Chains A and B, each alone.
Chain A
Amino acid sequence: MKVAVVVQRYGQAINGGAELHARYIAEHLARHGQVDVLTTCATDYVTWRNELQPGVETVNGVSVRRFRVKHERDPRVFGKRSDRVFEQRHSVGDELDWLDAEGPTSPALVDYVGKHAADYDFCLFFSYRYYHAYYGSRAAGDRAILVPTAERDATIGLSIFRPLFRSVRAVMYNSPEERAMIHAVSGNQSVPGVVVGIGSHVPNNPQPARFRQKYNIRGPFAIYVGRIDLNKGCKELFEFFQGYLKDPTGKLSLILIGNSLLPVPDHARIRHLGFLDDTDKFDAMAAADLLVMPSYYESLSMVALEAWALGRPVLANGKCDVLKGQCIRSNAGLYYETYAEFVGTLEAIEQNRWLAGSLGRNGRQYFKDQYDWPVIERKYLEMFERLKKEAPAAPDPLPGWLDRRRQDLRPAEEVIAALPKGPALHAPKHASPEPDGRRRA
């Protein structure tokens, strides 16, 4: 078996969600066959500047072939085109212009995929929203498998991606919510799909005491791991937690791990430790009483899965359908939408040891059943086997010259607003059976 993994960035130092996802999948599939990674020379997802050398290199035993990006992203042009397609009536041509402005625009990569797709059994395209996935999947033809890593943001409302979701051979979803959203927006129920997600390399014996000693942390604490950013809901988290701190009965502190783009409140019980390596990160998560995940938009949240793998309960933002659905399906986390719910759930986990322990046990079991690497690998291999037996469907034709210029497309934000919301707790009728049922402790 020979598989190509096509992703916008790739490398050990690149820790973006989709990129890490791609690397993990590539490295694990490499145990079952030959895997080539096709990517760009960029490392920065904002500028897409060519910072790595084009050519072939090996990363963790996986062959990586890099291609140059044709032009960097111009933030002004990108912002202007984003406003156009997200907020105004527009045409397919406007959306294609937006895609080009977004980057990483690498025609060389697409050309290579077109020429060498036949050399691979399947080409896995990560992140539907980028140039390489849109054009590369067409170039790969009936070998294209999409790992969309889609979130509930306006991009999913763009019309150019609907044919993409319908024309690939299969879609590997991260969550049932993502699948339901893509089904709703593109009507691709007939395309083979499976909720896979991703595993994580969680150490078997984390050292919470070592972490406490190293960072001089005492007492119970909640932990947040990730970029400290407005888009991740950290501002709301700070507001809510500062309100919680006024309650004298609450004993929890908040430990923040990750690079900060927001000012962290100056309080004795809120500590920002910065970016930590994996060892410290997992030790910290093992030492924590719970993980807080305040993000509004997540397609999977690997951090939440890692917390569950370590037997820690998760307190998630209930406005994020994926996180809420994960909490309900796993019975391993609580969720909040308001300040009162935040405090209520936080206190419930803090003051009820039995509840925290049960949630943690459920989380560990949920991770083991759904996101352990053998499970993930098996799902990919089964999908490959299935696709070998099934005939590919005919792809949607590209829009014509006139269609690309017709200004009849609704703003993407309107489209996304019209999509159904809420966690997907029931499997769709056309979906293939998969063991993602809800569990109880």
Chain B
Amino acid sequence: MADFNVRSDSVNVEHIMEQIRARIREKRGVDYTEQQIRELAAVKLEKFLDPRGVRSDLLDQFRKVQPAYEPPELPNFAFEDATLFESHRGPIRGLRKLLLPILKLFFNPNPLIQALNIQSRLNTMNAERETRRESARRQMDQLYYELIHNLVIETTRLGIEVKNLKMRVESVSSRLEFNERRARALESAVVYKPSEAEAAPVQQAPAQSQQRFMPPPSQGRPFQQTPPRPQAPQAAAPTPAAVAPATNQGQPADAGRQGAPGEGPGQRSRRRRRRRGRRGSGSAAAMMGAPGAVQPETPDASASTDAVDQMDAMDRMDDDGAPEAEASRAGAVEEVDSSPPPEASAVPSTDSAQSPPTGPEESSTAREPQGSPEPGRGTSSEPGGSDTDTQ
């Protein structure tokens, strides 16, 4: 209340109180009176979470309230030939009948009788038709009411269900986010410290990076003909332990190759992330593995692992929501794809490895090979990367 404002020279307590109350309302929203609070407290919370629990007896109530239809008794008359001359007194009736020929000397009553007779029948027909129409209208009304009633109920149910689903999606999203963070934390928890014996093989990374960024055969580039495979064993040699997780997870050896033909740009970015995922595991394996971890190259070495699959799954989710990251990653891959023939391909691959990370994953993976002489280039030590990329 430090900036309490009194605008006039004189003090008006009511005005000041209004200002104070307005400030309180601004701070905490609507100021309920005690009566309103009591009313709110008295209201029981309704269970509205289960959409199947939505019931309504409005229709029954409507039917109960609506009175049964009784057609109105419209005035009418019966008019026949002898109606004009009828009387409850017999002599008068006889006299009229006797004098009828005389009456007909003055005017012809037949058209009048016919007209009134027709009118009487018309009245009856109209009343019957009106009754039928009203009855039909009321039936239609009930149908409409029932229809609207059912629509309202269904809409309510759907609304509740949508809310429930939204909450569920939110819950799943938060769990997913948590899992991602946990995965990243676990990845970054691994400390890389290559031993002296491993330092030399790790330094071969730039040369092996040429193999990693070979364009796919479908693009028909000239350097496709350069056989990368003979170099793969060399690449696998420094960190053979990286192969072990793949084989230990029991994944098929060619699992990583299946998606290679006909890849799109999104798949390329996923591929890069997959490489990073393996890169991390490979480096960790190199760190953890004993000197005897050097193993001959096997096709299984490039097989995907569960961890990689998880990373792929995360990649798929990331691809949906990060266009700028996707574009930068795709651009980096395109830069590699459009690189010169094999003898010059090492340069763009190095550039791409040195390019600034475009997302959190890249930054984390860039930090991983802390023990390598050239941190940005340690990615080339992975053995299976060339296999996957070149497929």
Q: Which residues of A contact B (CB under 8 A)?
A: 249, 327-328, 331-335, 338, 340-341, 344-345, 347-348, 351-352, 354-355, 358-359, 362, 440-441
Contact = CB atoms under 8 A, between A and B. Distances in A.
Contacts of A344: 1, 20-21, 23-24
A440 B10 contact: yes
A334 B14 CA distance: 8
A441 B13 CA distance: 11
Given A341-B20, A341-B24, A352-B1, 17 more contacts: A327-B13, A331-B11, A331-B12, A332-B13, A333-B13, A334-B13, A334-B17, A340-B27, A344-B1, A345-B17, A348-B4, A351-B1, A352-B4, A358-B6, A359-B13, A362-B11, A441-B10
A147 B385 CA distance: 103
18 contacts: A328-B13, A331-B10, A331-B11, A332-B13, A334-B13, A340-B27, A341-B24, A344-B1, A344-B21, A345-B20, A348-B1, A351-B1, A351-B2, A351-B4, A352-B4, A359-B11, A440-B11, A441-B11
A338 B25 CA distance: 12
Contact of B14 (A249, A328, A340): A328
B4 A358 contact: no
Contacts of A362: 11
Contact of B11 (A338, A351, A358): A358
A207 B10 CA distance: 29
Contacts of B23: 344
Given A352-B6, A355-B11, A440-B10, A341 B16 contact: no
Given A335-B17, A345-B20, A355-B6, A340 B28 contact: yes
Contacts of A359: 11, 13
Given A327-B13, A331-B11, A355 B20 contact: no
A348 B20 contact: yes
Nearest to B17: A334
Contacts of B4: 347-348, 351-352, 355
Interface string B23-37: 110011001000000
A354 B24 CA distance: 21
Nearest to B12: A331
B249 to A, nearest CB: 57
Contacts of A351: 1-2, 4
Contacts of B20: 334, 341, 344-345, 348
A354 B6 contact: yes
A334 B1 contact: no
Nearest to A318: B17
A358 B14 CA distance: 14
Nearest to B21: A341
Nearest to B10: A440
Contacts of B27: 340
Contacts of B16: 334, 348, 355
Contacts of A327: 13
A25 B10 CA distance: 34
Contacts of B17: 334-335, 341, 345
A326 to B, nearest CB: 10
Interface in B8-66: 9-14, 16-17, 20-21, 23-24, 27-28, 31
A334 B31 CA distance: 19
A352 B1 CA distance: 8
A327 B20 CA distance: 15
Nearest to A440: B10
Nearest to A357: B11
Interface string B358-375: 000000000000000000
A236 to B, nearest CB: 13
A344 to B, nearest CB: 4
A397 B94 CA distance: 91
Contacts of B31: 338, 340
Contacts of A347: 1-2, 4
Nearest to A340: B24
User: A-B pairs with the 9 shortest C-beta distances?
Assistant: A347-B1, A440-B10, A344-B20, A358-B11, A340-B24, A352-B4, A348-B4, A348-B1, A351-B2
A328 B2 CA distance: 23
Contacts of B28: 340
A347 B20 CA distance: 10
Contacts of B12: 331, 440
Contacts of B9: 441
A423 to B, nearest CB: 10
**Residue with the highest number of chain A CB atoms closer than 10 Å, among B6, B10, B20, B31:** B20
B371 to A, nearest CB: 50
Contacts of A358: 6, 10-11
A67 to B, nearest CB: 45
Contacts of B13: 327-328, 331-335, 359
Q: Which of B10, B13, B23, B27 has the most CB of A within 10 A?
A: B13
Nearest to B23: A344
Contacts of B2: 249, 347, 351
A331 B12 CA distance: 6
Nearest to B32: A338
B25 to A, nearest CB: 9
Contacts of B10: 331, 358, 440-441
With a 10 A CB-CB cut-off, give which of B1, B10, B12, B31 has the most chain A CB atoms. Answer: B1
A93 to B, nearest CB: 37
A177 to B, nearest CB: 16
A38 B367 CA distance: 98
Nearest to A250: B1
A338 B12 CA distance: 20
A320 to B, nearest CB: 15
Contacts of B24: 340-341, 344
A249 B10 CA distance: 27
B20 to A, nearest CB: 4
Contacts of A441: 9-11
A411 to B, nearest CB: 22
